Amino acid sequence: MKAQLVILLIVMCLAFECYAAPHPRDFCNIVLKGRNTHETGDGTSGCFGLDSSDPIKKVILGKAGSSFKLFSGFGCKGSVVRHGSSNKSFNPAVRANSVKLTCPSTPTP
């Protein structure tokens, strides 16, 4: 009985760890904080749509060497509202309709 309880606790801890950390450390993504927190990115470079009704106060990049450009238009078109290659805070908050996330290339062994 005691061994079963220990095994159950180990399984529960492993399940929680997987749930709590869905992405490996240094996963290329971007977190945008406004009234709500939005996370986008799939580990590769790309253009992602945003909720322009929630002004962005803070940008957090998930991987060192990545960068972002916030665009006024959809599909990463229009003028660049803000850009950067590190975490940024904006005061006043900025509105954008899309973000271009550029991930660093991974060297092949």
Give tens-digit pLDDT for 3-55: 554 454 454 444 444 334 444 456 888 899 999 988 888 788 899 999 989 99
Give tens-digit pLDDT for 43-88: 888 999 999 899 999 999 998 899 999 999 999 999 999 999 999 9
Based on the number of CB atoms within 10 Å of its own CB, is 30 exposed (0-12), middle (13-18) or buried (19 or more)? buried
Based on the number of CB atoms within 10 Å of its own CB, is 99 exposed (0-12), middle (13-18) or buried (19 or more)? buried
Q: pTM value?
A: 0.71
CA angle 91, 87, 103 (to 5 degrees): 135
> Omega into 92 within 30° of 0, i.e. cis?
yes
Output the pLDDT for position 41: 81
Question: Which option is the CATH number for 25-102: 2.60.120.560, 3.50.50.60, 2.60.20.10, 3.80.10.10?
Answer: 2.60.20.10
